[in-house]
């Protein structure tokens, strides 16, 4: 790839169950501390472990300087996006800026408050349904950041959503259409998603165990993450540190099933193969894989098989699922795990995989159960969504 037109990551912002900013998330990864447990804020009859952000809506709003009456997804989004942009605050005038944001639930947490009123025929509060659709979260984030005039769009492709914003943002930078792109996403816990996933019988009643032979399902989580992308000239003019390079990316869809991956991981293979090829490297050059690794029987099996096929003839590198720490954050997962991948490159560490007891029978490899300090030049981050929408990013060190 010609680095003169490449997309560099120059800013990070994140909030998740393991921390309210980049520093806190990094500390949790370094100390192997998960953030999954009983819900304190989400009220549900299902007593299932979740990766809940430890701040109330009021606390999130106070940190962000916005109204607490906004949807929780927007409050999470604003906080993470503001951190990502903090180093460039007040210095972006005159640049072509884009905001690409992803989510799956929109303002569902507020809409849910109106459901009981329908049955009792009470008057519905229109303020609680005004932000129901996913695009409203992007609009609220742009407004809070003072980016009302920038180009915005919303992507909602299930669990690959925010990985796809980063992919699209990189394309906009590479094609010279934007100077700066803020790309990422957010999702909050809601009764709708908890009940929906529970009806699919893929939620674990205990702490999830991705890539374990006896895995029982996933734990849902919430959070938000954004990366700031810049071209070479903009990064130089703003004296921005180049944290990583988006060297490869790909999206594929095997359309096997609405909620399951194909058994052989066809879409997974296509996404990984094409992302690695676009990075101009062979699979043996990948130093660490941030797995999609949800903990469901179907997902982990198909991803494991796909990795065996992609890395056939090469050593499979260290690999781990950071959903062991945060839970599955749905539309935010791709961006959260991209931030974790950049931190892996910065720290030169492959993050540890938690709670693995019995490796999947028949797989020739298993995730690393401790932090592995090693040279990391290329990291592969996988995000595979419902409907077979599969995305992979290759993030590379800037030499």
**Is the alpha carbon torsion for 33, 39, 42, 47 positive or negative?**
positive
Burial class (CB in 10 A: 0-12, 13-18, 19+), 161: buried
Give the CA distances from residue 312 to residues 111, 277, 304, 321, 396, in Å, rounded to whole numbers and listed in that order.
Answer: 48, 15, 12, 21, 22
Q: Which of 150, 208, 256, 292 is catalytic?
A: 292
Q: Which helix (H) or strand (E) holds 183?
A: strand 180-187
| 224: helix, strand or coil | strand
Q: Which of 159, 208, 324, 390 is catalytic?
A: 159
Take residue 360 and report the two structure tokens written for it: 């999947």
Question: In angstroms, rounded to a whole number, what is the distance separating the alpha carbons of residues 91 and 380?
Answer: 32
Question: In angstroms, rounded to a whole number, what is the distance separating the alpha carbons of residues 67 and 42?
Answer: 20
Helices (H) and strands (E) in the chain, counts: 13, 12
Residue 263 near residue 36, CB atoms below 8 Å: no
Q: Which of 328, 353, 378, 390 is catalytic?
A: 328
Residue 328: active-site member? yes
Residue 292: active-site member? yes
What's the angle, vertex CA 189, arms to CA 47 and CA 250, rounded to 5? 125
Q: Backbone phi, then psi, for 30, in 5-degree steps?
A: -70, -30
Give the CA distances from residue 40 to residues 17, 44, 48, 53, 296, in Å, rounded to whole numbers and listed in that order.
Answer: 12, 10, 11, 9, 25
Question: In angstroms, rounded to a whole number, what is the distance separating the alpha carbons of residues 178 and 234?
Answer: 10
Residue 46: active-site member? no
CB-hemisphere CA count at 13 Å for 315?
A: 5
Q: Give me the active site residues, please.
A: 159, 292, 328
């Amino acid at each position: 790839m010609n680095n003169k037109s490449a997309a560099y990551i120059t800013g990070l912002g994140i909030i998740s169950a393991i921390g309210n900013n980049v520093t806190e998330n990094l500390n949790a990864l370094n100390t192997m501390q998960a953030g999954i447990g009983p819900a304190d804020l989400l009220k549900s009859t299902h007593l299932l472990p979740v990766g809940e952000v430890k701040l109330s809506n009021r606390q999130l709003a106070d940190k962000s300087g916005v109204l607490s009456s906004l949807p929780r997804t927007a409050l999470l989004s604003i906080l993470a996006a503001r951190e990502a942009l903090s180093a460039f605050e007040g210095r972006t005038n005159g640049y072509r800026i884009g905001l690409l944001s992803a989510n799956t639930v929109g303002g569902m947490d507020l809409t849910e408050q109106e459901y009981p009123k329908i049955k009792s025929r009470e008057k519905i509060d229109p303020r609680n349904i005004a932000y129901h659709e996913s695009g409203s979260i992007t609009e609220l984030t742009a407004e809070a950041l003072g980016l009302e005039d920038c180009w915005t769009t919303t992507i909602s492709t299930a669990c690959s959503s925010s990985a796809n914003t980063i992919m699209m943002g990189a394309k906009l930078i590479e094609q010279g259409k934007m100077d700066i792109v803020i790309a990422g996403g957010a999702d909050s816990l809601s009764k709708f998603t908890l009940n929906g996933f529970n009806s699919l019988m893929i939620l674990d009643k205990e702490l999830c165990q991705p890539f374990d032979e006896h895995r029982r399902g996933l734990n849902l989580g919430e959070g938000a993450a954004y990366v700031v992308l810049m071209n070479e000239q903009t990064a130089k003019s703003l004296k921005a540190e180049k944290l990583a390079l988006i060297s490869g990316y790909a999206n594929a869809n095997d359309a096997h099933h609405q909620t399951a991956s194909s058994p052989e991981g066809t879409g997974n293979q296509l996404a990984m193969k094409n992302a690695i090829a676009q990075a101009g490297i062979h699979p043996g050059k990948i130093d660490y894989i941030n797995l999609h690794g949800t903990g469901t029987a179907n997902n982990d099996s198909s991803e494991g098989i796909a990795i065996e096929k992609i890395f056939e003839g090469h050593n499979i590198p260290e690999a781990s699922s950071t959903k062991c720490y945060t839970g599955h954050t749905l539309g935010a997962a791709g961006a959260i795990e991209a931030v974790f991948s950049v931190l892996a490159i910065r720290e030169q560490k492959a993050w540890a995989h938690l709670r693995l007891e019995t490796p999947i029978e028949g797989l020739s490899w298993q995730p690393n159960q401790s932090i592995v300090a090693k040279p990391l030049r290329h990291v592969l981050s996988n995000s595979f969504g419902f409907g077979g929408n599969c995305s992979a990013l290759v993030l590379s060190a800037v030499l």
